[in-house]
Amino acid sequence: MKKLISTLAIAAATIANAHFLTFLPSTDNVNSKEQSNIKFDAMFIHPFEQTGMTMEKPFGIYVGNKKEELTLSETTKFEQKAWETSYKIKRPGVYQFFVQPEPYFEPDEGKYISHVPKSIISAYGMEDGWDEPLGLKYEIIPTTKPFALYAGNIFSGKVLHNGKPASNVEVEVELYNEFGLKAPSDTHITQVVKTDENGNFSFAMNHKGWWGFAALIEEGEKEYKGKMYPIENGALIWIKAY
């Protein structure tokens, strides 16, 4: 019985501690030259619990569909290796940024994790193009304008896999909890919704702050110490509620 309880406790902890490749810009709305030098933090963490894991250097952080690669600098977040970069916005527009990571092996779950997060920024009031896909293999396309949202607003998106709507896919949702909030139970930490037959999902953001949405699709394998393991591919997007 003790062994069973221990096994169940480990399983519960694994479910509660969802991993997110967190990709946060200094703002999602540029309204002045003082805001135009956007700083980005990329870190592999548990957003609600505010604990970190080592993030190896990603393949790159890009503007648009790999049209421009940003320079990376190593930093420390939550006492773990993380990465930072910046981008100077020089003209009005809607800018999309994403991270292409090095897959991370999670021994507790027996799989690789490869999350590709993106952030969308409006500059000087421009709002055209926020729903245009980048053409990533796994991608969330917002169907709600992804900037200038309030706490309590519903965020909606569409999950694409190889450019086609992905049905019945779990989308994990967590708040970047820099507010010291306490969850009623471990199962409250990560919210989960599923896409419909057209790949659509919706979620009400009930608190201000950055929210991460991770659509998880298991596909492919990668070797670790002579054994093949499945890859959890995540299409992520980070949205801020005010």
DSSP 75-140: EEETTEEEEEEEEE--SSEEEEEEEEPPPEEETTTTEEEEEEEEEEEEETT--TTTT-----SEEE
Average pLDDT of every residue of the chain? 93
- pLDDT for the residue numbered 177: 98
- pLDDT for the residue numbered 13: 43
Distance, CA of 211 to CA of 23 (rounded, Å): 11
List, for residues 218-229, the tens digit of each pLDDT value. Answer: 999 999 999 999
Whether this model's pTM surpasses 0.85: yes
User: CATH topology for 2-241?
Assistant: Immunoglobulin-like (2.60.40)
Distance, CA of 152 to CA of 220 (rounded, Å): 37
List, for residues 154-191, the tens digit of each pLDDT value. Answer: 999 999 999 999 999 999 999 999 999 999 999 999 99
Domain chopping of the chain, boundaries: 2-241
Match 């993106």 to its residue by tokens: 118
- pLDDT for the residue numbered 17: 65
Q: Which two tokens stand for residue 126?
A: 């421009």
| 8 A C-beta contact, residue 23 and residue 41 | yes
Low-confidence ranges of the chain (pLDDT < 50): 1-16
What percent of the chain is predicted at pLDDT more than 70? 93
Residue of 164, 131, 174, 150 whose CA lies nearest to 24? 174
| 8 A C-beta contact, residue 52 and residue 79 | yes
